[in-house]
Amino acid sequence: MPRTPTAARGAIITGWGTALPDKVVTNVDLESMMDTNDAWIRERTGITQRHVGGTTAGLSAEAGRAALDHSGVDPATIDTLILATTTPDRTVPASASTVQEALGLSCGAFDVNAACSGWVYALVTAHGLIAMGAEKILVIGTDTLDRITDYTDRNTGILFGNGSGAVVLEAAEGAGQMLGWDLDSVGAAESALFAEVGGVLEMEGREVFRRAVRLMADSATKAMESAGVVADDISLVVPHQANIRIISASLDRLGIPLDRASIVLDSTGNTSSASVPLALADALDKNRIADGELLLFVGFGAGMSAASAVVRWSPDAPLFTARSAPEAS
C-alpha cells in the first residue's frame, strides 16, 4: 500500500541537537573485558569506540534542549514531546514525562519503542500529529544500551553504546518536507534479537545481519516508491548505524554508493533509537545537506522492525504559524 502523505498541512525540521555521555569505551578497552581485538571489531563492524553512561532522560533533555536552542522555538510553544527509546529509565512512567519536566515543557509526552527503528517511527508519527493540528513537536531518539548489554559477551558487547539525538518539527504551509514513508515489522523474526525485562540483549548475529540488509533495502524502496522518487534522486542516506557492512550491503541493493551515506558508527557504535538523528545532525553540522536535496532516513532493528522516510530538506519553507518574539514579562 503506498504511504504517500495527502495532508495539506506538512512539517519541517527547524532545529537539531545531540548528546553523548563523556565516558568512551574503545575497542582496545574491550580486549581486557572479552575475547576480542580491535582489528576484528573494526573490520567486521566499522566501530572503533562507543560512549557509555548517563540516563535516557538525562541525555534526552540535553539533546532536546540543544535542538530547542538551535531552532529558536520558545519551549512554551512545544505541544508534543515524543521520545523514541527501547531503554526507558523505568518501566513506568514513560521517560518522556521525566524529559518534559526537565525541559519545563507543558505538552503531551510519550515514549515510542520500535527498537532501532524508533526515531523514524517517531518522526512519521509526529508528521501525522502535525497533519491533525499540532504545531511544534520535539522528536527525540535516545538509548542507554549499556544497561542491557553484557560487556563480557563478544557477540553483543562490541556493538552497542549510548547517545541521543533530537529535532524540532514545526507545522509548515503546504505539503512540507516528508514525501513518502514506510513502517514495517516482522514479528515472526523477534527471537533474532531481544532482551527480557531485567535481562540483557541476546542476538543471533548472522540472522540479524541477513534480515537487516533485506529489510533496510525493502523499506527504503517502499518509501521511495511512495514518494515517487528513485535511488538516483537521493542526495544523502541517513541510515541506522549498526554495522558498516550492513549499511554497505543494503545500499548496494539500492544502487546507492556508500559515500552518499552519513556514517557516525565508528565513534558511537550502535546507539539504537539515537543513531539516525545522530547521523543527521553530523551531516548537517558538516554542511553535507543543501536546501532542496532529498534525504532518505532508514532504520531497522529488533522486532524485527524497519522504518523509512523520504524528506526534502527545506528549512526555509514558510511556517504555518509565524514566530513571534516571546512577550516580556
SS (H, E, C) the chain: CCCCCCCCCEEEEEEEEEECCCEEEEHHHHHCCCCCCHHHHHHHHCCCEEEECCCHHHHHHHHHHHHHHHHCCCHHHCCEEEEECCCCCCCCCCHHHHHHHHHCCCCEEEEECECECHHHHHHHHHHHHHHCCCCEEEEEEEEEHHHHCCCCCCCCCCCECEEEEEEEEEEECCCCCEEEEEEEECHHHHHHEECCCCCCCEECHHHHHHHHHHHHHHHHHHHHHHHCCCHHHEEEEEECCCCHHHHHHHHHHHCCCHHHECCCHHHHCECHHHHHHHHHHHHHHCCCCCCCCEEEEEEEEHHHEEEEEEEECCCCCCECCCCCCCCCC
Q: Applying CB under 6 A, which of residues 178, 208, 217, 283 lies at the interface with ligand COA?
A: 208
Options 17-25, 165-173, 199-207, 321-329: segment touching ligand COA (CB under 6 A): 199-207
Q: Which of 27, 125, 144, 243 binds ligand COA (CB under 6 A)?
A: 243
| Part in contact with ligand COA (CB under 6 A); list of ranges 153-161, 183-191, 283-291, 308-316 | 153-161
Give the residue with the Cβ less far from ligand COA, 213 or 289.
213
- Least CB distance to ligand COA at residue 152 (A): 11
Task: Report if residue 205 touches ligand COA, rule: CB under 6 A.
Answer: yes
Alpha-carbon distance of 19 to 58, in angstroms, equals 9
CB of 256 to ligand COA, least distance (A): 19
Of 254, 253, 281, 255, residue with least CA distance to 267? 281
Is 226 a binding residue for ligand COA by CB under 6 A? The answer is no
Q: How many residues bind ligand COA (CB under 6 A)?
A: 20
- Least distance (Å) from ligand COA to the CB of residue 304? 8
* From 44, 70, 147, 253, residue interacting with ligand COA (rule: CB under 6 A): 44
Q: What is the nearest approach in angstroms of ligand COA to the Cβ of residue 146?
A: 15
Only segment of 7-15, 126-134, 165-173, 203-211 that touches ligand COA (CB under 6 A): 203-211
- d(CA 160, CA 302) in angstroms, rounded, equals 13
**Stretch binding ligand COA (CB under 6 A), from 105-113, 136-144, 239-247, 259-267:** 239-247
As annotated, the active-site residues are 116, 240, 270
Could you say which of 14, 18, 27, 45 contacts ligand COA (CB under 6 A)? 45
**Does the footprint of ligand COA cover residue 249 (CB under 6 A)?**
no
Residue 154 contacts ligand COA per CB under 6 A: yes
Shortest gap between Cβ of 177 and ligand COA (angstroms)?
26
Binding site for ligand COA (CB under 6 A): 36, 40, 44-45, 116, 154, 158-159, 193, 203, 205-206, 208-209, 212, 242-243, 246, 270, 301
